[in-house]
Structure 1
Amino acid sequence: MQDTKLATGTPTHTAYSTTGLRRRWAILAVAWAALLMAFVDRLTWASLAAGVGHSMGLPVASLGIFVTAFYVGYVLSNVLAGIGADKVGPSRMLTLAMLPLGVGTFLFGYTTSVPYGLALQVLMGLAAGADYSACVKLTATWFEFRLRGRAMGLLITASSLAVVVTNGTVPTLANRIGWTGVYQALGVATILIALVCGLVLRDAPAAAGSVNSKSNLALVWRNRDLVLLSLAGFGAMWGTWGFAFWVNALMIKGRGLDPVLAGFVTAMFGAGAIVAKPAIGLLSDLLGGRRRTLVIICLASFAVMLLLFGGLRSPQAFLVAAPLLGVTAFAYSPLMAAMVAEAAGAAAVGSVTGITNAFWQLGNLAVPLAVGAVYGASHSFVAAFVMLAAGPLAGTCLMLLFREAPRL
């Protein structure tokens, strides 16, 4: 049976067919592949920023402008794309989003000027705005409540595996085919994934629903739990993606690490989360869907680990700390995604997820510039990580106010 908890907090149920039970794992696998590819596309700049920025004459403090440009497009499209996932279905929305993302990524390989590169990053962000809400809706509507934690955990391993794949391969690949070749190859791969999405993905029966964008926006801001999740998610994403986008450049510039070694350290950061996400999702399911306490523990531990990481100096210490930091930096995400979906109700999962995720991504938009400004003014590795830790610390405080509804 599938839980389609409405905004009022009352669970209702719809039956799955046997065919649907078998099909959902294939759908989850393809949605996971699409999310992985989308994250690799957006994270590649973090691995190449130091070298490409130098060739464009950008100072270190300005390397975050391409990240910010991407998230300008991403935040703008999240709300509309989430509504689109409810109106036309998440499977179609994901396919339509991946195609222009592939084209934009391919064309970014021909960047010769900062304005051209910024324009393409905005375009890529606009295209990528549908991936998260569509994938979350596919998972939330194909998997019932008792399995949703582990399913969401498996889905969102895509973002942390993308950190591993990007940092483990992109620096080496760039040495062989150049940074332009890397973006062209990623563009082709993204287009191929889009074609697979069109062939395999189908919407769950529970995914259908009439959507009113104004009413769903009101639903978010009138629901105390969704407001707290939106604010806490902003702080959490500030720390997670601020670290992912800045750590390579900070270790290279602030601690003198070789770019390939810095990439390996960041890959270890992502590796820690690959196990943590499905494990914490499973633990949440075993606890009867309890998620609040686990989120608080993750966010508080994340803030502490960022402060500890900022005090490290040796490559060996970075290699030991990175996977532990990765566990805390990503484990909260499947739980918070499930909490948003359950508060929204099946018909509005896409739009409510898009609205809350758009607010979360404002942290991604602001943190590259904030960390760049702090590091540019102080040239302090430690100060940059204090700035990063402020996000999850604020998120911890906000989640303490969250009231988790009892489950029947």
Structure 2
Amino acid sequence: MQDAEKSTQESTLATEQEVAKKGRYGILAMVFITVVINYMDRTNISVAAGALSEDLSLTTVQMGLIFSAFGWTYSIFQIPGGITVDLIKIRILYPFILTAWSIATIVQGLVSSFAALVGCRMAIGVFEAPSYPCNNKVVTQWFNENERAGAIAVYTSGQFIGLAFLLPVLAIIQEYFGWRGLFIISGVVGIVWAVVWYILYRDPEDNTTDQKAKVEKQEEAPAVMENTKFTVKDIAKVFMVRKLWGVYIGQFCLGGVLMFFLTWFPTYLVEYRGLDFIKSGFLASIPFLAAFCGVLVSGFVSDALTRKWGVSKEVARKAPIIAGMLLSTSIIGANYTDDTFWIVTFLSIAFFGNGLASIAWIFVSLLSPKRYLGLVGGAMNFIGALSAVSVPVIIGFLVSGGDFRPALVFICALAVAGMCSYLFLIGKIEEVKLD
């Protein structure tokens, strides 16, 4: 009898564990889709840029300001957004911000002035600000430490694989419905997904199957973080640690390289390399596919190094980021060729490197005390988002004379600076003392 009862218990536990595993992967798939929509609404402006600037008679400097307007509020609201993530359940917060930035995207397709476009981009920045702290909290709650780099790689890949396939689609949508239709359709997709998220997602404390299965296996359960009140002193603390500044500066440089691809890249291909609009959409997708490969290689290799081969965190977590930043410097090679194949090749290698370095969010989980997880994530994304403020405007000025080569030199310099940040500022990977 006891053997039969024990066998039944083991069978039940195995079933619960399988359900828990599928549940976590389902949640990760939801985060992935949300990231795709997030970046679609950030970057549809780059696809619309040519037609939009022609219709409204905008200069390259004005377009640079429109590109960067998202970053103004996105960066300012990172810390408030991170605190909000620590205070409000993800099931409630994510659908709200998704709906809000999608409405701003729709309005973007209805306005007709430079000032109104800037205002819409700023509104999108406000409501997208908590999104990546949300993503990081979901993964930290649902996945153990030795699974997180892979999980982060999967959802981060959404910004690359999603756009790789979406860029040609967005170009075709604009071809048939114009740049206004492009914004409206993008916004409607976001609102629909917000409803789906609210219906399907559950916070860990509301879904005990995963926790129960892990406790019975005597494994480390994913972290469940309590809501916390923050003071101004707490906010100051996360800017007073050298290790964290290594991550912050690295994120700025990583974001700077990314911002080139999210804003000026289609314009570079069409206006400076003479490609037609539809062809540029398909060619622009190749570097995004390369970045997708880079981020997956980075995440799963990094996890395998620590889990299977016992490689130290310093090597397993830092090496992909440093190697990725180094590869990103290859972007400068496009300055020395007029051959479309080699231009796309150099840009693809650079973006592969950017993808390889994109698991930087793992350092928030590794360095931050659990109480400060959202706040440190907000601080990191605040500094990183300053690249969205500055880089598009800087490029706008650099290319105003009709030459794009100085802009690529600038992007190369950012990659070098990011590599140095991880090499010399972070040091040993261990939880920092903030209390």
TM (norm. structure 2) is 0.85
**Other-structure match for 1:71:** 71
Which of the residues 363, 369, 376 maps onto 1:339? 363
Aligned equivalents of 1:256, 1:89: Cα separation in 2: 48
Note if 1:397 corresponds to 2:410: no
Q: Deviations over 1:144-171 (max 9, x none)?
A: 0111111110010111123313422111
Mapping for residues 243-282 of structure 1, pairs under 5 Å:
243-282=261-300
Mapping for residues 202-213 of structure 1, pairs under 5 Å:
202-205=202-205, 206-213=224-231
Aligned equivalents of 1:92, 1:345: Cα separation in 2: 24
**Other-structure match for 2:376:** 352
Shift of 1:215: 4.5
Shift of 1:62: 2.5
Aligned equivalents of 1:375, 1:339: Cα separation in 2: 35
Note if 1:310 corresponds to 2:335: yes
Q: Deviations over 1:187-219 (max 9, x none)?
A: 110001111111122223413242415354233
SS of the aligned residue for 1:267 comes to helix
Shift of 1:312: 3.1
Shift of 1:406: 6.9
Aligned equivalents of 2:280, 2:272: Cα separation in 1: 11
Q: 1:196 to 1:188 in 2, by over 3 A?
A: same
Q: Deviations over 1:323-355 (max 9, x none)?
A: 322211222112x10112221233332221111
**Other-structure match for 2:320:** 294
* Structure number with bigger Rg: 2
Letter in 2 for 1:296: I
**Other-structure match for 2:408:** 385
Q: 1:353 to 1:91 in 2, by over 3 A?
A: farther
Mean Cα displacement is larger for which, 194-203 or 160-169?
A: 160-169
SS of the aligned residue for 1:404 comes to coil
Q: Deviations over 1:236-295 (max 9, x none)?
A: 211121233112112222221212222222211111122221221111111114211221
Aligned equivalents of 1:311, 1:152: Cα separation in 2: 35
Shift of 1:380: 1.9
Aligned equivalents of 1:138, 1:109: Cα separation in 2: 32
Letter in 2 for 1:308: G
**Other-structure match for 1:234:** 252
Letter in 2 for 1:243: F
CA RMSD in angstroms comes to: 1.9
SS of the aligned residue for 2:239 comes to helix
Shift of 1:176: 0.7
Contact 1:35 1:159 (C-alpha < 8 Å) held by counterparts: yes
Letter in 2 for 1:246: W
Aligned equivalents of 1:324, 1:357: Cα separation in 2: 25
Contact 2:68 2:388 (C-alpha < 8 Å) held by counterparts: yes
Shift of 1:76: 2.0
SS of the aligned residue for 2:97 comes to helix
Note if 1:325 corresponds to 2:350: yes
Give the length in aligned residue pairs.
Answer: 388
**Other-structure match for 2:241:** 223
Mean Cα displacement is larger for which, 356-365 or 63-72?
A: 63-72
Contact 1:213 1:351 (C-alpha < 8 Å) held by counterparts: no
Aligned equivalents of 1:406, 1:44: Cα separation in 2: 39
Q: 1:136 to 1:310 in 2, by over 3 A?
A: farther
Q: 1:207 to 1:27 in 2, by over 3 A?
A: farther
Contact 1:89 1:208 (C-alpha < 8 Å) held by counterparts: no
Shift of 1:138: 0.4
Aligned equivalents of 1:225, 1:276: Cα separation in 2: 25
Stretches of structure 2 lacking an aligned partner (at least 5 in a row) = 1-15, 206-223, 307-312
Letter in 2 for 1:281: G
Shift of 1:56: 0.7
**Other-structure match for 2:36:** 36
Q: Deviations over 1:114-165 (max 9, x none)?
A: 1111111111111111111101110122110111111110010111123313
Q: 1:254 to 1:102 in 2, by over 3 A?
A: same
**Other-structure match for 1:8:** none
Aligned equivalents of 2:400, 2:55: Cα separation in 1: 19
Between the two proteins, what is the percent identity of the paired residues?
19
Shift of 1:368: 0.5
Shift of 1:315: 2.1
Stretches of structure 1 lacking an aligned partner (at least 5 in a row) = 1-16
Shift of 1:101: 0.9
Contact 1:209 1:348 (C-alpha < 8 Å) held by counterparts: no
TM (norm. structure 1) is 0.90
Mean Cα displacement is larger for which, 178-187 or 308-317?
A: 308-317
Contact 1:140 1:346 (C-alpha < 8 Å) held by counterparts: no
Contact 2:294 2:354 (C-alpha < 8 Å) held by counterparts: no
Q: Deviations over 1:290-311 (max 9, x none)?
A: 21122111111112x1111233
Q: Deviations over 1:15-57 (max 9, x none)?
A: xx84644422111111111111011011001111022111110
Q: 1:348 to 1:131 in 2, by over 3 A?
A: same
Contact 1:44 1:166 (C-alpha < 8 Å) held by counterparts: no
Shift of 1:395: 0.7
Contact 1:248 1:266 (C-alpha < 8 Å) held by counterparts: yes
